Structure 1
């Protein structure tokens, strides 16, 4: 009779020990069949030695434990041992045609199954059946032989179970290492590995096309700030689910960090497929998201790079997709951009600028220019606005509009802004001493939101002003409307502390940002600066002049002064005087000029 496995159609009761983990069924089957074959040989030889021609007994392993099998004794029918707990096994033995048979429960004890008291819980691995063609009187030697073989099989099965469990744990750990714990989608490590395989496949098969998408949620931080991180996590989980619904099974959606996702699209029919999928994703993301706090809306900016770009390094492809995504954000968000050679050239130029910018401070390449601000009642210079310039050793003067956004994005604006404040305060203190007045000259310095967000910022300003010897009542700090939007509570707190030092606060570029009038009157301000675009259009139509007049009236109503920017003509100056603006700056008076020119101008003390 050949060795075989019998698997009764029974379901273990709750609390019974589960079957051996199905890690590799073929491996388990091979191991058990080998073990049974060996056991058959041992038992056959042992029984032959103890009397009578035994023709190869059949040895069978029952793989599912019997719900009632709890006895640790063997069952040998003809010696009268109780059959309790073995009826089902015995029935199967008789069904297999055995005239004589023995049943031995295979039991083991696993150290992993210790209960709270420290006792070992038995591991029920099944039962060993020895089936003979004819009845047999079982001797003590027979029983010892069979139970010993059963004990060996129990040890083998238990060892394999421990190994299988170890394999399961290892597989779980691998999955944890390669999966995002919040959304369940692959993480960056798994994505880059899969992307490497796609690159290799494209190298071998020229017709194979793929695309990499970098996706970033627009203004996701505002969801976290207003509703909390738990709601933000709900949104991210739902976004991951929607993205997976937008792609095929062979594609991959991964979370690359924060609110960013990476998508690999394989086996594309043409290069336009990437754009079509990106559009589908944007429509899906734009639909309302149900959270425990109600509906939430968001959008996504997506960058796409195609395998036809020729790059064969996963990290480089991801970098290019990220560049295209940043381009989509700067172009207005909620859109996608394809990476191209022009974008690549711009990215390289930006990288070079960022590198040079990091060395500019230590190489003393920055300098300050100043633009005079005129009090309209007297027509005299009463304030100087500090403006930074970068004198690049290879490019000459780099316009602020080119390097300030890079400094903001990289965080370099913080040390640069600190340098500006310290240098400007020192310059103004020197001018006040050389050009004394009944009402001292004032200094105006622009602040960045990144500076404002630094811990201890107010203390830093106080120490910087004190170190320069400048009277804080002659310092004005200019903020933009974005300050009030990003963190209004902290903005009010910091501005109040700065004003307590004697420093005045001006709101720059009024009319171009996002703040509402309700937020405006809550800010502790001393002045608002009317943006140049309004002033320059005053002479085009009467309504434009009336708009500037309205802003001037608004300033008066909330108790602050109005400063007009961008004054270029004498008629603009007279119009501003007529509507009651207190101060003005612009090219009519002077362009921003270096320190030496300001020195001459202060000595001449001109009037307008």
Structure 2
């Protein structure tokens, strides 16, 4: 004999397929279960005329409906209830059990408001009494209040009590979505400068005290309706109204800076602080995060300018390009995609090639040729200049050794390699140059290391040590772009400099500017007095070459002689100018 399959049951324990107890009356067991439910519950039906009928309910339901002001439901008057959406929900559900079965609603306002959730569950249909459903009412007031409190904590800065970054972004988003308000507001980002130094020297408690006092001063200069938030460790955001355009935002920035001029008293000490303010004007359709980042970008510009700055899209585009170039340059160095070109240096008396200056060139597979004036500053800013400088020194040394091998003799030329001021400050120059000389097998006397004046001025003591270490390797030391920096005669006397390179800005103007001629004469006389040789940059005509030679300049380089050449072409150029 086959066992009977288990039969499903309704929510009240009635086996499926049996006659519904609601066709006559509510069963005693079901009644007991309804009363035993720990939440407010009732059974509601829909008669043939489409009118809601309250079949039965437990005492908790009566209490809940009374507190919500919907005692009319208890009396069976659904059309007279306060929350008509409840009646609509029940009517729609009883007509179609597939329709929405839940509804959240609030009774009252403010702190005294109560929050409920109505849930419906089908109990079946009958031809005589129509469809029925179980209605449960859940009081969510404590849950909602807890969520609200947690959200308030999530949107508040615990130290200053101000809104935090998330809350500030939501304020921006709200203003952007409010009709006609977007263009009337601007975002200011205020950065407390050198905060880390104060924190480190005076301790974390003093740092917290400074932030709290700083925030209070910010609040004192804001107008009604402005929004202040702490958006970072030492960063604050301000949402201001600008009825007369961006000038109002700059006025607010000036007020902020003015109020910060007074010293702060911390731990019985008076300190002065500085702040940088960046401004970004709000426009309809902007992304809140992008707007905030624009103001942060303006802060960086303000730090450089020393005064509040308004965000300029063109500068941001340039900054993004620099960042992109940094990423691509890092990859190019890893894949050895850069090349060294060599510009000939001509002995102005003999006309022969005395050496070559090694110059980095980069042809990107998508962007095409990227100028050194663009990627070298990016390399210096990012620190990639150390890797780039070591690569150039090693490549130039080995290229000179390769030329010797191709000719079968030691070429009477040297190669010049530029060093950045960042390299001089951060790298071990002597070890780096020494390793390149050893690995290539060339002598230091065939290497000229070119440094700018800024590398000397930044740290004269370190520069002296670097110069002396290079001289110990028999390398020649040249000061590049002489006359454009801050060199003094004292440096020229103290440092073992062999060559002064006269900047192209003086050389190119010689034929039409008497002042340029006078400057070049002075540099040549100075070099002669100090026992140094000279190299003129930017020679682009025979007249310049002839004049410089007549004035006693040792060598020169420029497009008149040759542009920078690839290694093989540079060797051919040396051969073509060699006098037998």
Give the TM-score normalised by the residue count of structure 1.
Answer: 0.58
Among 320, 323, 335, the residue aligned to 2:297? 323
Cα distance change of structure 1 residues 201 and 245 upon mapping to structure 2, 3 Å threshold: closer
- Alpha-carbon deviation of 1:475? 0.9
Residue of structure 2 equivalent to 1:418: 390
Q: Is the 8 A contact 1:386 1:443 kept in 2?
A: yes
The count of corresponding residues between Structure 1 and Structure 2 is 418
In the alignment, is the contact (CA less than 8 A) between 1:300 and 1:333 conserved in 2?
A: no
Tell me what 2:253 maps to.
Answer: 278
Query: Hey, what's the Cα distance between the residues in 1 that align with 2:232 and 2:539?
Result: 48
Question: What is the CA-CA distance between 1:550 and the residue it aligns to?
Answer: 0.5
Residues 361 and 243 (structure 1), Cα distance of their counterparts in 2 relative to 1, 3 Å cut: farther
1:501 counterpart = 2:473: yes
Give yes or no for contact 1:476–1:506 (8 Å, CA) kept in 2.
yes
The secondary structure found in structure 1 opposite 2:283 is helix
Counterpart residue number, 2:172: 199
Tell me, in whole angstroms, the C-alpha distance in 2 between the residues paired with 1:455 and 1:297. 35
Measure the CA separation in 1 of the matches of 2:423 and 2:461: 16
Name the residue aligned to 1:549. Answer: 521
Aligned partners of 1:496 and 1:524 also within 8 Å: yes
Equivalent residue, structure 1, for 2:433: 461
> 1:1-80 counterparts in 2 under 5 A?
none
Instruction: Give the aligned partner of residue 521 of structure 1.
Output: 493
Determine helix, strand or coil for the equivalent of 1:266: strand
Deviations 1:90-116 (A, max 9, x none): xxxxxxxxxxxxxxxxxxxxxxxxxxx
The equivalent residue for 2:574 is 602
State the distance in 1 between where 2:498 and 2:265 align. 43
1:66-90: per-residue Cα shift (whole Å, max 9, x none)? xxxxxxxxxxxxxxxxxxxxxxxxx
- 1:134-173 pair list within 5 angstroms: none
Correspondence 1:204-353 to 2 at 5 A: 205-206=178-179, 207=181, 210-214=185-189, 244=218, 247-248=221-222, 252=228, 262-272=236-246, 273-280=248-255, 302-308=277-283, 310-314=285-289, 316-327=290-301, 333-353=305-325
Structure 2 portions without partners, runs of 5+: 1-153
Deviation at 1:491, TM superposition (A): 1.8
Please tell me whether residue 475 in structure 1 is matched to residue 450 in structure 2: no
SS in 2 for 1:386: strand
Q: Deviation string for 1:375-399 (max 9, x for gaps)?
A: 2232211110000111110122211
Which secondary structure state, in structure 2, belongs to the residue aligned with residue 492 of structure 1? helix
Give the drift of 1:262.
Answer: 4.8
User: How has the CA–CA distance of structure 1 residues 505 and 280 changed in structure 2, closer, same or farther, with 3 Å as cutoff?
Assistant: farther
1:483 deviates by 1.0
User: 2-side partners of 1:594 and 1:462: how far apart?
Assistant: 25
Matches of 2:505 and 2:384, distance apart in 1: 29
Of 585-594 and 460-469, more deviation after overlay is shown by 460-469
Matched with 1:564 is 536
Cα displacement string for residues 154-210 of structure 1 (whole angstroms, at most 9, x for unaligned residues): xxxxxxxxxxxxxxxxxxxx9x9965xxxx999xxx752452242243245342655
Give the match for residue 575 of structure 1.
547
How big is the shift at 1:328? 5.7
Q: What per-residue deviation string (whole Å, max 9, x for no partner) do you get for residues 322-351 of structure 1?
A: 43345567xx72344422443443344333
1:416 match: secondary structure: helix
What residue in structure 2 maps to residue 489 of structure 1? 461
Distance 1:322 1:217 in 2: 13
- What are the superposed Cα offsets for residues 261-288 of structure 1, whole Å, 9 maximum, x if unpaired? 5542434435412222334566788999
Alignment of 1:64-103 (within 5 A): none
Greater mean deviation of Cα atoms: 432-441 or 360-369: 432-441
Task: State the Cα RMSD in Å.
Answer: 4.4
> Which residues of 2 match residues 388-407 of structure 1 at below 5 A?
388-407=360-379
Aligned-partner Cα distance in 2 for 1:556–1:288 = 54
Pick which of 519-528 and 374-383 moved more. Answer: 519-528
Matched, 1:432 2:407: no
Using the alignment, how far apart are the partners of 2:494 and 2:527 within structure 1?
A: 13
